[in-house]
Chains A and B, each alone.
Chain A
Amino acid sequence: MHGLLRKSSERGKVLSVKTGSNPNSSSLGVDVTLLLAAGAAAGLLSFLGGSLIRWMRWGKGPGDRD
């Protein structure tokens, strides 16, 4: 319960979420489909991203990518 009540400034926040990956070798593409429900989509994505991150636990620690 304590964790849930911590201030958001302590927990940190999601700044942005970029979905998918860009297949195009000439410019940067951004998924705009979510603009159909802009405000709700942004909130939902931030919630999803934040939840996933908080759910994660440490792996091998600092080091190289594999």
Chain B
Amino acid sequence: MIPFVKLQAVGRFGKSMARAEPFGATIAFHKPEMLVMVDRAMALQLGVADFPAPQPGSCATDPHAPYEAHLTVGRNCSVGCSACYIDAGQGRRGPVDISKWEAILERLAQMGVFHVAIGGGEDDELEDLIHLASKARQLGLTPNLTTAAWNVTPAVAKRLGVFHRVHVSMDGLGDTYRQMRGHDGFARAHTGLEILKAYHPHVGVNCVVGRRNYEELEELFSLLHGLKISEVELLRFKPTGRGRALFDSMDLSHDQYDHLVKKVLKLAFRYRVRVRLDCSFTPMVCAGGYDPSVLAKLGVAGCVAGSWLVSIDPEGGLSGCSFDSEPVGSWTDLGKPGLFAKFSNWTNDPPMPCGDCAFLDICRGGCHLVARHVTGDFEAPDPSCPIVRRWSESGR
């Protein structure tokens, strides 16, 4: 059992929760929404005393339990995106096992997980997702959702209020959307986004960035600005599920990787949209010339699969990351030590140039699943990291 201390903030900041960690404590705030990691001295002042021992081989900044869990509850989907990472499709309906997912949520709450992101095929029963989100709330977990938004009506949008945040998958406008997702669904997604914005307080967009939509990102930011959508999460194209066959044509070019961070920061400033970059883009952030200590303070993290996050698939398989199609066990194994050693031990003996890199403990080698797909070696450094490429090109 993770030791918790309930904290009472003054005024409008409301209740918060401190969770004991090997390094000290993590404090979850709801207003403003953030996780704050503090050292043992500060944790002691909050009444957190029973610091758990670090997992063998883990980094100094690794928490005792994941901060968030990704739950894929089903694979039934009529949207049919060409690069779907869970290979969802029509006719894959199996009843969502509500009692199993409730048990999973209870286990995650016991472990001290803060956030759960719930997803699946678009045709998985909305009632089931809402029910599970309600259950998560009861357990003190914060549920979030990403959807294609094809079936969102005002009535549905109101009911999705049980989720803290709802993001709509939108990889571009018009024909760019079609090129990225393989179907002409932009108008439906756009309508769904407008309805959600009208009824839900925290709405954003998820956008997979690939070679085909990189140049069109400004159009998307402009649209979001016009709709008063304040947050976008940009995701790297992954070689998983149906995306595996498309990866070579979708993966960003070296030049695009080199300029991505500056480009999106410029767009964020121009259109007043907050940008989140997914963990696999961390090598590109690190290569941007920032001070490693600043990145660490801002919570920038590369491959934290199995430590900061875990993933559970529709069959109950447990992975460190949703893009790893090789589960390490079942959800019933949650909390067992050493399950994710292939991820957590990577920084103990990293290959060059990562071994000499000032960003090693932040980046952790970038996306190992991309590395495995491109080089055939899970242990290899992320082949698209600008620092790795410069090192390779220098002939060392």
Q: Which of A17, A26, A39 contacts B34 (CB 8 A)?
A: A17
Q: Which of A41, A53, A64 contacts B298 (CB 8 A)?
A: A41
Residues of chain B contacted by A45 (CB below 8 angstroms): 34, 297-298
Is B70 in contact with A25, judged by CB distance below 8 angstroms?
yes
Residues of chain B contacted by A13 (CB below 8 angstroms): 38-39, 41-42
Also in contact, A55 and B10, with CB within 8 A (given A13-B39, A19-B32, A33-B274)? yes
Q: Complex: how many Å from CA A27 to CA B144?
A: 13
Residue A56 is within 8 A (CB to CB) of chain B in the complex: yes
Q: Which of B36, B44, B71 contacts A14 (CB 8 A)?
A: B36
Residues of chain B contacted by A31 (CB below 8 angstroms): 274-276, 298-299
Secondary structure of the A contact surface, majority rule: mixed
Q: Which A residues, 38 to 53, have Cβ-Cβ distances below 8 Å to chain B? A: 38-39, 41-42, 45-46, 48-50, 52-53
Is A25 in contact with B117, judged by CB distance below 8 angstroms?
yes
Also in contact, A26 and B322, with CB within 8 A (given A46-B297, A50-B42)? yes
Q: Complex: how many Å from CA A10 to CA B139?
A: 34
Q: Complex: how many Å from CA A4 to CA B158?
A: 47
Q: Complex: how many Å from CA A49 to CA B42?
A: 11
Q: Complex: how many Å from CA A13 to CA B296?
A: 14
Q: For the complex formed, measure the closest distance between the CB of B23 and the CB atoms of chain A, giving whole angstroms.
A: 7
Also in contact, A22 and B23, with CB within 8 A (given A15-B38, A27-B322)? no
Q: Which B residues, 108 to 151, have Cβ-Cβ distances below 8 Å to chain A? A: 109, 112, 114-115, 117-119, 139-140, 142, 144-146
Is A18 in contact with B34, judged by CB distance below 8 angstroms?
yes
Residues of chain B contacted by A64 (CB below 8 angstroms): 4
Give the nearest-CB partner of A21 in chain B: B115
Residues of chain B contacted by A27 (CB below 8 angstroms): 235-236, 238, 278-280, 321-323
**B93-101, B161-169, B185-193, B337-345 - the one binding chain A:** B161-169
Residue B13 is within 8 A (CB to CB) of chain A in the complex: yes
Residues of chain A contacted by B217 (CB below 8 angstroms): none
Q: Which of A29, A30, A56 contacts B8 (CB 8 A)?
A: A56
Q: Complex: how many Å from CA A38 to CA B309?
A: 25
Residue A57 is within 8 A (CB to CB) of chain B in the complex: yes
Is A23 in contact with B167, judged by CB distance below 8 angstroms?
yes
Residue B89 is within 8 A (CB to CB) of chain A in the complex: no
Q: For the complex formed, measure the closest distance between the CB of A1 and the CB atoms of chain B, giving whole angstroms.
A: 18
Residue B72 is within 8 A (CB to CB) of chain A in the complex: yes
Residue of B43, B166, B299 with most chain A CB atoms under a 10 A cut-off: B299
Q: Complex: how many Å from CA A57 to CA B47?
A: 10
Q: Complex: how many Å from CA A46 to CA B285?
A: 20
Is B278 in contact with A56, judged by CB distance below 8 angstroms?
no
Q: For the complex formed, measure the closest distance between the CB of B370 and the CB atoms of chain A, giving whole angstroms.
A: 11
Residues of chain A contacted by B269 (CB below 8 angstroms): 36
Q: For the complex formed, measure the closest distance between the CB of A13 and the CB atoms of chain B, giving whole angstroms.
A: 5
Residues of chain B contacted by A14 (CB below 8 angstroms): 36-38, 42, 297
Is A11 in contact with B140, judged by CB distance below 8 angstroms?
no
Residue A60 is within 8 A (CB to CB) of chain B in the complex: yes
Also in contact, A32 and B277, with CB within 8 A (given A12-B39, A25-B71, A45-B298)? yes
Chain B contact residues, CB within 8 Å of chain A: 3-10, 13, 15-17, 23-24, 27, 29, 32-47, 61, 67-68, 70-72, 85, 109, 112, 114-115, 117-119, 139-140, 142, 144-146, 164-167, 204, 206, 231, 233, 235-236, 238, 261, 264-265, 268-269, 274-280, 282, 285, 288, 290-291, 293-294, 296-301, 304, 308-309, 311, 321-323
6 nearest A-B residue pairs (beta carbon): A12-B42, A12-B41, A25-B119, A18-B299, A29-B276, A59-B6
A–B complex contacts, Cβ < 8 Å, 23 sampled: A12-B44, A18-B299, A21-B114, A21-B115, A21-B165, A22-B144, A23-B117, A23-B166, A25-B146, A25-B322, A27-B235, A27-B321, A30-B300, A32-B264, A35-B285, A35-B288, A35-B298, A42-B293, A56-B8, A56-B16, A59-B6, A60-B6, A62-B47
